[in-house]
Each structure stands twice: as C-alpha cells, then as structure tokens.
A and B are shown apart, each in its own frame.
Chain A
C-alpha cells in the first residue's frame, strides 16, 4: 500500500465515522425524550456532519480524482465505507444511543487530541477544530450515561443492557493494521492501540460512577473500518442517505 492510499483510507475512516454516526444521531430529530435532548442531539449530529465535510473533503483532495466530500458520501457503496461497526449500530432506545455515543466520543476525543499534533497540517487543523466540539460531546454523553446508569432501577437496567450489547463493538476502534502503521510511521496519526489504555481508564471511571459493570470479555467484532464486512444495517442507512443522488444523477441541489 502506498502512503497516499493509506492516507486516503485513514481520512475515509475519520469521515465515515462522523458521517455514519451523525446520520444515526440525526434520526432522533423531533423524537427525543425531552426538548433539551432534541436540541443537544441535533447539535451533535450537526457537528459530526460538519466534521465529515472536512475529513471527506480532504480525502477527496488526497485521492486526487476529483471526488468531493458529497461524492464520497453519496456515491460509494457499503464496501467502500470505512466507519467502525459501532457507528452504524441502530439507535435502539435513547439509552442505547447515548451509550454508543459515549463509547465512541471517549475514543474520538483521545484520537483528536493526538491528531491536533499531526505532522500533516491539514489533519492537525481539522482535529483542532473538531476536538473542541467533541470535548463537549463526551462531557454530555458521559453525564447522560452516569445519570441514567445511576438513576432508577429501570434506567439502570436499560443502560447495562446497552453496554452489554455494544461492548463487542468497542475493540475495533483500537486495532492496528497496515493503514494505521503507515500513518503512525509518518507521524500523521497514532496507532489506535496506543489510545486504549487512556480510554479504558476513562471508561472505567465513568462506568463506576454510573454503577454499571463492564462486561468481562475482550471479544471484538471487526470488518467496519477495513470495509471487509459491515453489518446489514449500513446498507439500509445508505439507501436513505444516498437516495436522491442516486435517483437523480447529476442534479444540483
């Protein structure tokens, strides 16, 4: 793999995570449990879509084939998506959505802090902007996980169920591979495995405050960020997300 190819892959991983998770979060619009949550979820989705524009915009630039962020978002099929499986998991109830958000945000913020020091100025620039937003996301999702974990017995039960359900999707965020090796060697991005200890410490603290038990399993699904095997959920999401662009090719909106 050339270093440009690895760079493109890496940028798609960043942008597809934010695209797919932003899309999921936006599905809540108008349906949240309280008005303040509706506003907060829309805000998170909005930040993530904005970050997508930057990451996929840069991906298109690095690829050099004239593809825009919109082309990448709207005209690739599922196998070309590089988001982790966690991001594409369905919303479930509000607790499941917020658990997914916290598990992701906590990794996202640690990664962005490192990327803000990337050897590539463009990456560092995007990360510096995104890290401010994501610092706020993680504060919020963390507080919600704690509030609902340590709330009523029903909210506790639901949050534990959400953690158990999503735990097998955590590991994929921290696996190294050829792409990440090249990025690390060039000082563009850290090896994902290097972020795990910090993530574990933060998550343990949060779950203990939330009175939730972290599952005793290291099993991790894989296949999202390599594109080898996404879940069935992604295709359905793309049929919605890409529908207009696919149905009216070449139209400008």
Chain B
C-alpha cells in the first residue's frame, strides 16, 4: 500500500495502562493526540502516516511527468487537479503526523536522506499517456482498497484524514478508468498503449499491498491497535477480484496466464508478483528511485532560499508591527 512493510514497535509499558488502552480500541473509541498512548503505537503511526504522506508527495512526480504533454486542455486540467489533490493529501497527512509530535520538516528530511520510505509504486516510470489511465485506475484503485478500511482506524486525526482523502481517491480512480476507456476504444495505437500500460503496471500494483504478512508479528500488533485493518493478502485478493472484470470490460488482458476464476473460493486465482523485484525497489534499485529522490532533494535544496526569504520577511513584518504598537 502507500505504507508498506511498516515495522510496529515493541511496547514495554505499564500493563494496566496498556490493557485500558486496548479496551478503548476494542470498544471502537478514537484515540486523540492528547490521550495517553503506548510509545510503540505512537512510533508505528508516525512511521505509517509519514510514509503515506511521502507517497502522496513523491506520487506527484510520475503523473506530473505528463502534465505538459496532456493531449487536450480538459485532460490537462483534470490531471493538474489530480496531482494538486495528491499534494493536498500529503498536507493533511503531515498535519496528522504532526499531532504525534514530529514536524513536517523532520519527516521531509528523513524522506530526503532515505531514512523513511514511500510506496514502491512511484519508482516505476510513466512512459505513455495510457499510463495516466493505468495509474489512476490501478494505483489509486489499490490505494483505495487500503484506505477505505483505514477510515475506521483507531487514531482520530488519521481516520479523519482518510475520510477526506478517500472521496478524492475514488474520483481519481474513475478518471483513470475513463482515460483507459478512451484509449481502449480508440485507434489501434491507443489500444496498444493501453495494453502496454496494463502490462507494466499490473504486478507493481499488486506489490503495493506488500508481501504476505500471514505470520508477521508486527502486523498482528498493528491489527490489534487498528492501525492496520486487513492483511496484505486479503486486500490484494480484493483488488484482483475488483479489477479483473474491469480489465475485461475494457477488452484488455491481465498479464497473468494463471489468472482464473475459482468457483470453490469465489475469488480469482492469480500469480504473485516477483517479490525479489519488490525488495530491489525498496533497496533503491527500482527503475526511477534515483530520479524520484533527486527530484525531491533538488526541490528542497533549490527552495531553501525561498523558505528562508519568506521566513525572514514574516519576522521583519512581525517586528515592525511590535515596533509600531
């Protein structure tokens, strides 16, 4: 998902407090920033929300790549609005993380020097206009799978951010599907583009949910805290079940020879992505890791004089105001 492989922190605290905390969560109460919470809960959430925020921010880049080449004014406006939404999602999420006692600048620096990650999916290149369709349809689609349940997450600010974000994400997904539809119904070159985009984005989209976490202790703890609502495999299955009929409707072929409806389970059987590729991407060896991080670093470095200048001006203005009083 946007937050992949989040390690949850072990917690060594007063068992009574922990039990009371767990009871609140089990009763469906929301935990608010000022409430007592275990250190592990706090740290895990900072990591998860931070990674989610970073994913929204880095996620601007693959789609931003096509804004200047959008084929019509309307498509350009839709894409711009979408990328702007993603920046807004980043903003809400950084604000949610800040309620846990970390600043946006601290989180940003951890992204820029590689201490924090963002979703593996944004390390894949966008090569044709059909990729704008595939990203909206598949990537936002996979994001929604995870984020809809997170609307019920136990941490209040995160839950509220998810509620706002989910509305926009489902809009993005529909727009992406609409781009794919136009391509799939278009000229033979457009159909080829659409199929090619699906071929390239299918497995990376499945990887978004992270490797199977059936036996992971970390995810058990996160599930108990309602920071994680479903297992990775459950979400991946749900995504496949939803997406395959959509691909069929478009007349596109999912690039998986083993894909088959299973009467007994009531789900599709499908091939796992190549997990060694996933771990390579996480290690920094995805097709675009270098470019993505370099772009974020240069935005930050080149923007330093701007941030400093605006801050200096605000201070001067405040000082003048005091002097005038």
**A, B co-complexed:** yes
Residues of A at the B interface (CB closer than 8 Å) are: 19, 23, 26-27, 29-39, 42-43, 45-46, 49-50, 52-53, 56, 69-70, 73-74, 93-95, 144, 146-148, 150-152, 154-156, 158, 240-241, 243-245, 248, 250-253
When A39-B84, A94-B306 are in contact, do A150 and B129 touch as well, CB less than 8 Å?
no
How many interface contacts (CB-CB < 8 Å) are there between A and B?
Answer: 149
Which residues of A have CB within 8 Å of B64? 29-31
Which residues of B have CB within 8 Å of A30? 57, 60-61, 64, 83, 87, 295, 299
Which residues of B have CB within 8 Å of A37? 303, 306
Q: Given the complex of chains A and B, what is the CA–CA distance between A33 and B87 in angstroms?
A: 13
Q: A-facing mask of B178-215, CB < 8 A → 1, else 0?
A: 01001100110110000000000000000000000000
**Interface assignment of B12: CB less than 8 Å from any CB of chain A:** no
Residues of B at the A interface (CB closer than 8 Å) are: 57, 60-61, 64, 67-77, 80-81, 83-84, 87-88, 90-91, 94, 104, 129, 179, 182-183, 186-187, 189-190, 295, 298-300, 302-314, 316
Contact, CB under 8 Å: A43 / B73: no
Which residues of A have CB within 8 Å of B311? 151
When A33-B306, A43-B84 are in contact, do A49 and B313 touch as well, CB less than 8 Å?
no
Query: From residue B288, how far is it (CB to closest CB) to chain A in Å?
Result: 13
Which residues of A have CB within 8 Å of B310? 144, 147-148, 151, 155
Contact, CB under 8 Å: B84 / A152: no
Q: A38-B84, A42-B81, A94-B302 are in contact. List 8 more A-B contacts (CB 8 A).
A: A29-B67, A30-B83, A53-B77, A144-B310, A155-B309, A158-B305, A243-B69, A248-B190
Contact, CB under 8 Å: A33 / B75: no
Contact, CB under 8 Å: A147 / B302: no
B303's nearest neighbour on chain A, judged by CB, is A33
Contact, CB under 8 Å: A27 / B307: no
Contact, CB under 8 Å: B306 / A155: yes
A241's nearest neighbour on chain B, judged by CB, is B68
B311's nearest neighbour on chain A, judged by CB, is A151
When A146-B313, A155-B309 are in contact, do A42 and B87 touch as well, CB less than 8 Å?
yes
B86's nearest neighbour on chain A, judged by CB, is A30
Contact, CB under 8 Å: B77 / A46: yes
Query: From residue A17, how far is it (CB to closest CB) to chain B in Å?
Result: 14
Which residues of A have CB within 8 Å of B299? 30-33
Partner of B83, one of A29, A240, A243, A244: A29
B59's nearest neighbour on chain A, judged by CB, is A30
22 A–B contact pairs at CB < 8 A?
Answer: A27-B67, A30-B57, A30-B61, A30-B87, A30-B299, A33-B303, A33-B304, A37-B306, A53-B74, A73-B73, A74-B72, A148-B310, A152-B309, A155-B308, A155-B309, A155-B310, A156-B309, A244-B69, A244-B71, A251-B187, A251-B190, A253-B182
Which 4 pairs between the two chains have the least Cβ-Cβ distance?
Answer: A33-B303, A155-B309, A151-B309, A30-B60
Contact, CB under 8 Å: A32 / B303: yes
Contact, CB under 8 Å: A29 / B306: no
Contact, CB under 8 Å: A155 / B305: yes
When A94-B306, A95-B306, A155-B306 are in contact, do A150 and B313 touch as well, CB less than 8 Å?
yes
Which residues of B have CB within 8 Å of A243? 69
Contact, CB under 8 Å: A154 / B84: no
Q: Given the complex of chains A and B, what is the CA–CA distance between A56 and B316 in angstroms?
A: 44
When A30-B295, A49-B73 are in contact, do A152 and B87 touch as well, CB less than 8 Å?
no
Q: Given the complex of chains A and B, what is the CA–CA distance between A250 and B188 in angstroms?
A: 12
When A29-B67, A31-B295, A42-B80 are in contact, do A253 and B60 touch as well, CB less than 8 Å?
no
